Amino acid sequence: MGEEFGGDRKSETFWLSDPIDGTGHFIRGIPFCTTMLALVDKGQVAFALIYDFVNDDVYHAELGKGAYKNDEKISVSDRTLQQAYLHCEVNSNKEENRAVLSVVENKANLINTLNSGFEFVLVACGKTDGRIVYNGFGKDYDFAAGTLLVKEAGGIVRNFKSDNYDYKNLNFIATNPKVYEELVGSEDSIENLM
């Protein structure tokens, strides 16, 4: 099942594929493009692979077994929200979403490459500190691989107003534990705006 071809999401086990995440970047020669695969088994993402073909680096994770860049284990950062660089995919064309984006902009530095696979890799390696998607633009094949990679790298991945993550719910936060606690676990949680 993927962006470029059909498939069956009703199967118990299937692959989600995005052959070129960041096609526009790829066409223009901008290096923020990846290939993503996620294995969904019994409703849960069980394996993830993101290939940064520009730099020839393979990022992979298996549920419960950690996250890796090639053969080297990777982990999320330990930065606080004040120190954080966050990726935020929020459809600001919708007025009700602007408050969420505004609060995040006021609490952290935002960085946007317009490519979810590349951004998930940055978060999982601790180069940036989190990715927020709220009424964004992507589909399950844009997020499934990256969310498992961040989780297995020691991050917290949760759907908003939930203690869990369901890859079919496209509103989520994937970040390090400190940033998660400051953005969602505090009294002034961004979830209060949703």
Task: Supply the CATH number for residue 63's domain.
Answer: 3.30.540.10
**Domain limits for position 189:** 85-193
Assign 132 a pLDDT band (cuts: 50, 70, 90): very high
Residue 3 lies in a domain: no
> Could you tell me how far CA 62 lies from the centroid of its own chain?
16
pLDDT mean over 18-33: 94
**What pLDDT is stored for residue 61 in this prediction?**
98
CATH number at residue 151: 3.40.190.80
Residue type, 26: F
Clarify whether residues 152 and 109 are in a common domain. Answer: yes
Compute the average pLDDT of residues 103-111.
92
What is the mean pLDDT of the segment spanning 121-140? 96
- The model's pLDDT over 82-93, given as tens digits with 9 standing for 90+, comes to 999 999 999 988
Q: Do 69 and 89 reside in the same domain of the chain?
A: no
Residue 53 has pLDDT above 80, yes or no: yes
- Residue 99 token pair: 């408050």
pLDDT at 6 over 80: no
Residues facing 2 on adjacent strands: 17
pLDDT at 176: 98
Question: Tell me, what's the pLDDT at 185?
Answer: 86
pLDDT of residue 3: 67
Residue-wise pLDDT for 159-174, tens only, equals 999 999 999 999 999 9
The residue written with tokens 């390090």 in the block is 176
Specify the pLDDT at position 1. Answer: 74
Position of tokens 């498992």? 148
| Domain identity same for 61 and 112 | no
Q: Facing residues of 36 across strands?
A: 18, 50
Query: Do 141 and 121 share a structural domain?
Result: yes
Residue 7 has pLDDT above 90, yes or no: no
Mean pLDDT of the chain: 94
Q: How far apart are CA 118 and CA 52, in angstroms?
A: 8
**Residue 4 resides in a domain:** no
* Residue closest to 155 by CA, chosen among 68, 52, 76, 54: 76
